[in-house]
Structure 1
Amino acid sequence: MLRRLVPGLLLTGLCVCTPPAEPPARPPPRLVLWAWERPEDLRFLSPADAEVAFLAATVHLTEESFRVVPRRQPLRLPPGLRPRATVRLEMRGGASLAHVPEALRQRVAEGLVDVARRMDAAGLQLDFDARESEHPAYLRLLEEVRARLPQGTPLSITALVSWCTRDGWLTRAPVEEVVPQWFRMGADGAAHEARLRRAPVAPCLHSLGVAMDEWRAPPSFASTVYVFNPRPWTALAFQTARSKVVTQVVTP
């Protein structure tokens, strides 16, 4: 009887085991190069490899008037690459956006949209370090810009990392993209970085801005990474940035 049972027991212990299926490879993040106010020759880029957001203008704003200072430096791009326009908004003379009259704010909104229209940009991005007291006024400005942009034109804003780790005012912003700036975070940078990695607010879950001269590994959730370079872009700098992003985000 035992001789008959042993082979059966041995066969029962055998199984055909297959290793678990490998998860599908994660696509690399979309890469966007910030081209700031200096001569930039980006003709080495392939439109399939990266996009470009260029500083198109700076708006100087007080509580009585505003002035649009257009880009003065040349920007050279490869054929087929349509960039997005970034506009830097700066309050001057101690002014606060919270105290800008509605009529002036509407004129500013029209000026911002006009920049994107004149540049035939693929989208408009606003770069403004709004203080907490300015958040409601900034939301109103964004609503007025959104209402004036041609249908289908994406609206993006940069953001301080601290905006992405507390109150949910950003969830009310009428924008397609929020880009937390993962650099120049100040004395509380390490704390903000830890909080963003742990529990970012919803609008900050997709894009991120990093800097070549203050590199921090982007969080794994970033599907679009903007890269700021304090020096003119070169093919080597671009390859370095792309390699770092792919290595640290796709295979952290």
Structure 2
Amino acid sequence: MILWAWERPEDLRFLNTDKVGVAFLAQTLVLTGNEVNTKPRQQPLKVAPQTKLIAVTRIEIDKLPVLSTIQQNEIVRLILNTLKLKNVSAVQIDFDVKVSQRGFYRELLNELRTKIPTTMPLSITALASFCLSDPWIKDLPIDEAIPMIFRMGADSNTVKAVLKKGEDFSIPLCQHSYGIATDEPLSMTFDKTRRIYVFKGTAASWIKDDIDKLLIQ
């Protein structure tokens, strides 16, 4: 199980690191015009030295961006910087990409893949609806696309109905993991061989009781 540790103070030194890892928000990159504005993590994150860490970069759109090669190269550079953070063993990107931005995103991922170590896992978050019926992500140069089975908006009922029937995501890259939230219970059977990424749906920090409840589910 992997906990998402977003922008709030987190003391996770109590985790059983044999069972639980941490995907922490390392930075938020905001695209505006032809610029990339960087917002590094502001809140403290405390973990045991042996904790498996995944550095997450969140990409957001402010004003209409150019989506230029200059921006692409700057994003790649900034993501590569997160590999210098202590104990980071994988990289993840969280980007609510629109149809018009897919080409830019694909090129960015292609470039990033060539720059990070070949053994370094690279993952992205993905709308659950993409994983069901939208094949644009099927050949991205990544190791996994994490289906976000929460905050799904208009697609929520459709996706939940499919999963409740025991059906699976059709895109192979989406068949390695699940992304869930503590405040949105799901009526489905989880494949126990897959990683589960968990987002805490309240503003409070993670506590041991949260983890104990998740591990017994």
Query: How does the TM-score come out when normalised to structure 1?
Result: 0.79
5 Å-filtered alignment, 1:6-85, equals 31-85=1-55
Q: Please give the alpha-carbon distance, in whole angstroms, between the structure 2 residues aligned to 1:167 and 1:41.
A: 38
RMSD: 1.7
When structure 1 is superposed on structure 2, of 188-197 and 118-127 the one drifting more is 188-197
Cα shift at 1:218: 5.1
**Which residue number corresponds to residue 225 of structure 1?**
196
Q: Distance in 1 between matches of 2:168 and 2:188?
A: 14
Q: CA deviation at 1:116?
A: 2.6
Taking the aligned partners of 2:206 and 2:118, their CA distance within structure 1 comes to 32
- TM-score w.r.t. the length of structure 2 is 0.90
Q: Distance in 1 between matches of 2:155 and 2:133?
A: 14
Corresponding residue to 1:145 among 101, 112, 122: 112
* Greater Cα offset, 105-114 or 32-41: 105-114
Please tell me whether the aligned partners of residues 42 and 233 of structure 1 are also in contact (alpha carbons under 8 angstroms): yes
Instruction: List gaps (5 residues or longer) in structure 1.
Output: 1-30, 245-252
> Which of the numbers 60, 68, 75 marks the counterpart of 1:108?
75
The corresponding residue for 2:101 is 134
Deviations 1:67-87 (A, max 9, x none): 221111111112311311011
Task: Give the structure 2 partner of residue 168 of structure 1.
Answer: 135
In structure 2, C-alpha distance between the alignment counterparts of 1:33 and 1:102, rounded to whole Å: 33
User: Following the alignment from structure 2 to structure 1, what is the Cα–Cα distance between the partners of residues 155 and 90?
Assistant: 32
- Choose 1 or 2 for highest CA Rg: 1
- 1:123-156 per-position Cα deviation (integer Å, ceiling 9, x unaligned): 1100001012222221111111111112311101
**Number of aligned residue pairs:** 211
- How many Å apart are 1:40 and its aligned residue? 0.3
Distance 2:9 2:175 in 1: 32
Distance apart, 1:215 and its partner CA: 2.1
**Structure 1 vs Structure 2: percent identity of aligned residues?**
35
Structure 1 counterpart of 2:58, from 88, 91, 109: 88
**Compared CA separation, residues 187 and 168, structure 1 to 2 (3 A):** closer
Q: Which amino acid aligns with 1:235?
A: K
Gaps of 5+ in 2: none
Cα–Cα, structure 1 residues 128 and 218, in superposed 2: closer, same or farther, change >3 Å?
farther
1:216 matched residue in structure 2 = 186
Amino acid of the structure 1 residue aligned with 2:179: G
How many Å apart are 1:159 and its aligned residue?
Answer: 0.5
- Change in Cα spacing, 1:136 to 1:89, as seen in structure 2 (3 Å) is same
- Aligned to 1:109, the other structure's residue is in SS state helix
* Greater strand share, structure number: 2
Which of 191, 198, 223 lines up with 2:167 in the alignment? 198
